[in-house]
C-alpha cells in the first residue's frame, strides 16, 4: 500500500492532505523512538493489522477496521450532533472520527447508545456487521448494568423484573435475564434487549427512580478497571471475542 493511501485509509484527511503530511516530514515508519522518516507519499509498504507508524510525533498502528472501547463519562451524548451535552466523539482523536466511509459508516460509530447521565462501557467501530450483531436482540448479547435507586430495593422488585414488566410503548412484557441485589439501593441487572431508556423504565415500572446507571459489561467483556472515565483504547482480538460471547 502506498503511504499516502495508508494515511488516507486511517482517517488523516484527503489524499492531498496526506501527501502534504508526508512531504513535509511529519510521517515516519516504525515505533516512536525507532522510526525512520519517509517523505515519499508513493513509497509502498506491506501493511497488516498492527503496522506501526508515527504521524506528527504520535504513535499509530494500521487497523483494517477500528474497534474501540470507551469509558463513557457522565454528561456526554452518544451523538455526532449533540443537543445539550458534549459528544462522546470529542473524546476520540480526529483520525478515528474521520476514517473514510465504509458502506454507510463514516468513522467509528457507537454500538448502541447510553443516556447522557449513564456511564460505563461503550464500544465504537466502523464494522457495520459487528454493530448489528452486538445491537440486535436476536443475538442475545448480554449487557450488565449497575443501578442505584432513590429508594430502598426489595427482592420482590427483582422478582418482578425477572418475570417481566410491561412498558408504555408495547403490550409485550420485557424481562431481565438476571438480577442481583447488591445493597439497600444498589442492584445489578442483565439485559439482552435494547429499548429506549429501558433500564430506567423497567425500574419505574416496579416503583423506583434510577439515580445512577453504569454499564459494566457487554457480552463477556468487562470494563477494565484501569480505563478511567473519558479514556479509550483499541480492542484486542480477545476483547472482540469476549464482547460477542453470550456465555
CATH of the domain at 146: 3.30.70.1560
Query: What pLDDT does residue 147 have?
Result: 98
Query: What pLDDT does residue 39 have?
Result: 97
Q: How many CA atoms lie within 13 A of 58 on its CB side?
A: 8
Are 212 and 228 in a shared domain? Answer: no
pLDDT (tens digit per residue) in 167-186: 987 788 999 999 999 999 99
Which residue among 40, 115, 146, 169 is the active-site one? 115
CA distance 151 to 70: 30
CA distance 165 to 33: 58
CATH of the domain at 79: 3.30.70.580
Residue by residue, DSSP assigns 150-199 as SS---HHHHHHHHH-EE-TT-SSEE--SEEEEEETTEEEEEES---TTHH
Are 201 and 82 in a shared domain? Answer: no
In the chain, how many domains are there? 3
Average pLDDT over residues 116-121: 97
What interhelical angle do 198-205 and 155-163 show, nearest 10? 120
pLDDT (tens digit per residue) in 6-25: 999 999 999 999 999 999 99
Query: What pLDDT does residue 170 have?
Result: 78
Are 51 and 9 in a shared domain? Answer: yes
User: Percentages helix, strand, coil for the chain, rounded to the nearest 5?
Assistant: 25, 30, 45
CA distance 126 to 148: 33
pLDDT (tens digit per residue) in 53-107: 999 999 999 999 999 999 999 999 999 888 899 999 999 999 999 999 876 777 8
Are 206 and 165 in a shared domain? Answer: yes
Share of the chain above pLDDT 70, in %: 100
Question: Over the range 5-37, which residues count as b (16 or more CB within 10 Å of their CB) and which as e?
Answer: bbbbbbbbbeeeebbebbeeebbbbeeeeebee
Are 176 and 225 in a shared domain? Answer: no
Are 214 and 225 in a shared domain? Answer: no
- Determine the straight-line distance between the first and last CA of the chain, rounded to whole angstroms: 39
Confirm whether 151 is a catalytic residue.
Answer: no
- In which band, very low, low, confident or very high, does the pLDDT at 156 lie, cut at 50, 70 and 90? very high
Q: Bigger pLDDT: 243 or 135?
A: 243
Are 204 and 151 in a shared domain? Answer: yes
- In which band, very low, low, confident or very high, does the pLDDT at 136 lie, cut at 50, 70 and 90? confident
Are 171 and 161 in a shared domain? Answer: yes
Are 57 and 119 in a shared domain? Answer: no
Are 15 and 123 in a shared domain? Answer: no
CA distance 177 to 11: 39
Query: What pLDDT does residue 231 have?
Result: 98
Cβ neighbours, 10 Å, residue 206 = 16
Residue 183 burial class via C-beta count within 10 angstroms: exposed 0-12, middle 13-18, buried 19 and up = exposed
210 neighbors 151 (Cβ within 8 angstroms): no
- In which band, very low, low, confident or very high, does the pLDDT at 195 lie, cut at 50, 70 and 90? confident
Q: Which helix (H) or strand (E) holds 217?
A: strand 210-218
Are 172 and 193 in a shared domain? Answer: yes
Q: Bigger pLDDT: 107 or 156?
A: 156
CA distance 50 to 60: 9
Query: What pLDDT does residue 135 have?
Result: 83
Of 61, 85, 110, the residue at which a domain comes to its end is: 61
What is this structure's pTM?
Answer: 0.92
Name the least confident of 14-18, 140-144, 152-156.
Answer: 140-144
Query: What pLDDT does residue 211 have?
Result: 97
Give bridge partners of residue 59 from the DSSP assignment: 54
Are 149 and 125 in a shared domain? Answer: no
CATH of the domain at 25: 3.10.290.10
Residue 52's domain comprises: 3-61
Q: What are the cell numbers at 124?
A: 465504537
Average pLDDT over residues 210-230: 97
Query: What pLDDT does residue 213 have?
Result: 98
Amino acid at each position: 500500500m502506498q503511504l499516502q493511501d495508508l494515511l488516507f485509509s486511517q482517517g488523516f484527511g484527503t489524499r492531498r492532505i496526506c501527501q502534504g503530511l508526508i512531504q513535509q516530514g511529519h510521517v515516519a515508519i516504525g515505533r516512536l523512538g525507532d522510526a525512520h522518516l519517509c517523505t515519499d507519499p508513493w513509497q509502498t509498504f506491506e501493511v497488516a493489522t498492527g503496522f506501526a507508524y508515527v504521524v506528527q510525533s504520535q504513535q499509530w498502528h494500521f487497523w483494517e477496521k477500528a474497534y474501540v472501547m470507551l469509558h463513557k463519562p457522565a454528561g456526554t451524548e452518544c451523538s455526532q450532533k449533540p443537543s445539550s451535552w458534549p459528544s462522546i466523539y470529542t473524546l476520540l482523536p480526529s483520525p478515528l472520527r474521520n476514517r473514510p466511509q465504509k458502506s454507510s459508516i463514516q468513522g467509528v460509530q457507537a454500538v448502541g447508545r447510553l443516556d447522557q447521565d449513564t456511564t460505563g462501557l461503550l464500544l465504537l467501530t466502523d464494522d457495520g456487521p459487528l454493530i448489528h450483531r452486538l445491537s440486535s436482540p436476536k443475538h442475545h448479547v448480554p449487557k450488565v448494568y449497575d443501578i442505584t435507586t432513590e429508594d430502598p430495593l426489595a427482592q420482590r422488585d427483582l422478582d418482578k423484573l425477572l418475570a417481566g414488566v410491561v412498558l408504555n410503548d408495547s403490550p409485550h412484557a420485557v424481562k431481565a435475564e438476571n438480577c442481583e441485589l447488591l445493597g439497600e439501593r444498589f442492584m445489578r441487572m442483565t439485559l439482552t434487549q435494547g429499548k429506549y431508556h429501558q433500564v430506567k423504565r423497567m425500574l419505574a415500572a416496579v416503583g423506583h427512580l434510577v439515580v445512577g446507571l453504569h454499564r459494566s459489561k457487554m457480552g463477556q467483556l468487562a470494563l477494565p478497571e484501569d480505563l478511567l472515565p473519558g479514556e479509550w483504547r483499541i480492542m484486542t482480538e480477545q476483547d472482540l471475542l469476549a464482547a460477542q460471547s453470550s456465555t
